[in-house]
Amino acid sequence: MRTAAASLARFTVQVFTPHVYVTYAILWVLSLEAAAAATTHTPWHPGAGTAVRCASAVLVLFYLRVVDEQKDLDYDREHNPDRPLVRGTVTVAQLRGAMAGVAVLLLALNAPLSPLSLIPLAVDLGYAWLLVVLERRSARIRDGLLVNLAVTHPVQLLLSAYVYLSLTDSTPVPARWTALPLLLVFACVFLHFEFARKTRWHNEPGSRMYSGVIGPVPSALVALGWAVLAAVLTAALLRDPRALLPCVLLAFPGTAALRFLRRRAPAWPVPAAMVFVVGFLLALLTSALLIQAAEPGGI
């Protein structure tokens, strides 16, 4: 038991980077909740339910990383021999035990708060595990980068759907049609980072880069397009001058795109993409809070 716990701890530090994923999960949940309340003119205060959703988001992201390690095992054996699963730092059995533990913990956390929210959670976990089978049986899904993105991205959408459903099921914030474009905002932010970190001028043989599939310039333009779409959707949803605050963050992908397209950088500057993700979520949270504060009665 101690050996398994130690192996999982080393695995977590190496591939999960807790401070990065925890920060991302918390900002994701807080900004989504605040924006959902702002679009419906409903007062919102983070509470115990928010804490449960933040913890659940971290657990799901960890679960997804565990699944990714198993999905990519064959590829990593050839291209990334330093990965913990390849080196034997952790075993497949230990990872699957961790997955089972995460599923049980998610059930215990969310069942008392919002039984309805267990549906997207269960679908998300089950679909993520199904991806392991799909990629082993289908070379097109496994090796086709764009096809793989289309097949795997629903795990991110389902996590946002869980947060929204749990929020509207357990608080006065009502469910509205604005949920769809709101969830799309978070999808766009994720996709910006996904394309940005896999865009470079020269692609090594065997590397999984969107720039190697559609070309460096189209890949850079797509990365920039996701960021712009996130800002435009936010402004259209919140319909308030304060909603322009996230638009200011477009300076980061805009500058990064110019540097890359002018060949001043061999690859899209990943730090700029990371700053955009964190900054955009913070700006969205701030904008939503300012909008609510301006409502009669404040927040």
Q: What is the pLDDT of residues 135-172, one digit of tens each?
A: 888 888 888 999 999 999 999 999 999 999 999 999 99
Residue 200 carries which DSSP code? B
CATH number at residue 4: 1.10.357.140
State the pLDDT at residue 267.
96
86-145 pLDDT, tens digit per residue, is: 888 888 888 899 999 999 999 999 999 999 999 999 999 999 989 988 888 888 888 899
CA distance 207 to 201: 12
Judge if 98 and 166 occupy the same domain. Answer: yes
Mean pLDDT over 250-270 rounds to 96
Least reliable range by pLDDT among 5-14, 144-153, 268-277: 5-14
123 and 149 in a single domain? The answer is yes
Of 107, 110, 96, 84, the closest CA to residue 14 belongs to 84
Residues 6+ apart with CB under 8 A from 77: 86
Whether residues 22 and 79 fall in one domain = yes
Q: How many domains does the chain have?
A: 2
Instruction: Pick the last residue of a domain from 143, 175, 207.
Output: 175
pLDDT at position 158 is 96
- Let me know whether 151 and 89 are in one domain: yes
Helix or strand or coil: residue 267? Answer: strand
230 plus 276 within the same structural domain: yes
Domain co-membership, 42 together with 98: yes
Q: Are residues 88 and 98 in the same domain?
A: yes
Q: Can you give the pTM of this predicted structure?
A: 0.93
Q: Does 143 lie in the same domain as 12?
A: yes
Domain, as residue range, for 149: 1-175
- Assess whether 191 and 167 both reside in one domain: no
Query: Contact at 8 Å (CB) between 99 and 67?
Result: yes
Query: Positive or negative, the Cα torsion across 49, 120, 127, 147?
Result: negative
pLDDT digits (tens, 9 = 90+) for 30-63: 999 999 999 999 999 999 999 999 999 999 999 9
Instruction: Calculate the average pLDDT of the chain.
Output: 91
Task: Assess whether 47 and 165 both reside in one domain.
Answer: yes
pLDDT of the residue at 298: 52
Higher-confidence residue of 68 and 228: namely: 228
Tell me, what's the pLDDT at 296?
Answer: 67
Widest pairwise Cα distance in the chain: 61
Domain co-membership, 170 together with 235? no
Copy the structure tokens of residue 259: 């540097």
Give me the pLDDT at residue 262, please: 95
Q: Which of 164, 134, 197 is nearest to 44 (CA)?
A: 164
Least confident of 5-9, 124-128, 195-199, 279-283: 5-9
Q: What is the pLDDT confidence band of residue 239, given thresholds at 50, 70 and 90? A: confident
